[in-house]
Every structure is written in structure tokens, then in C-alpha cells.
Amino acid sequence: MPVVRGTYFVMASFERLAPGLTDVEMTRRLVEERGVAAIPPSVFYARPPGALPWLRFAFCKRDETLALAAQRLAREASGA
């Protein structure tokens, strides 16, 4: 069996940016306010194990798309 050398996803914490929001609420906020899509990890559970202050991002995208998402997320982090 081959050794896996990569993935198409990264998990990132949003706990310091938006304490108290659920992963679903934060996902909606990013889509509506910044135009950046993420996957809330709670959707992978029949019964989520409590607070999940993480989002799953796919990075199997064109470089231009990733650069634009990074700019939009940087505005989110700065509060602009």
C-alpha cells in the first residue's frame, strides 16, 4: 500500500476569532460575509461531541482561488 504524502483538506480553528459560535454558524458567516466556503466538521457526526470550533477547508483549488480566499480570510481575522 502506498504511503500517503498529502491531502486536499486542512482543519483550522476559529475559536479566537469568534468565540461562542458553532462550526455551522461560522461556516454560514464566512460564506455570507466573505464569500469563502468551508465545511463544518459537525456534519460528519450523527451526534457531534460538543463544541467543535474548527472548520475544514479544501485546498485542491487553483492558485488564484486560494490567493483570493486568503485575502478574504485575512480581512476576517483583522475584523475589517
Q: What is the pLDDT of residues 44-78, one digit of tens each?
A: 999 988 889 999 999 888 999 999 999 998 876 66
Residue 55: domain span? 9-78
CATH value at residue 70: 3.90.1150.10
Is there a domain that residue 27 lies in?
yes
pLDDT at 69: 92
Is there a domain that residue 4 lies in?
no
Is there a domain that residue 28 lies in?
yes
Pairing of strands 9-13, 54-58: antiparallel
Beta bridge partners of 39: 56
The per-residue pLDDT of the chain, averaged, comes to 89
Looking at beta carbons, which pairs linking 57-63 to residues 24 or more positions away fall under 8 Å?
A: 57/9, 57/10, 57/11, 57/12, 58/8, 58/9, 59/8, 59/9, 59/10, 60/8
Confidence tier at 38 by pLDDT (50, 70, 90) = very high
Is there a domain that residue 42 lies in?
yes
Q: How many domains does the chain have?
A: 1
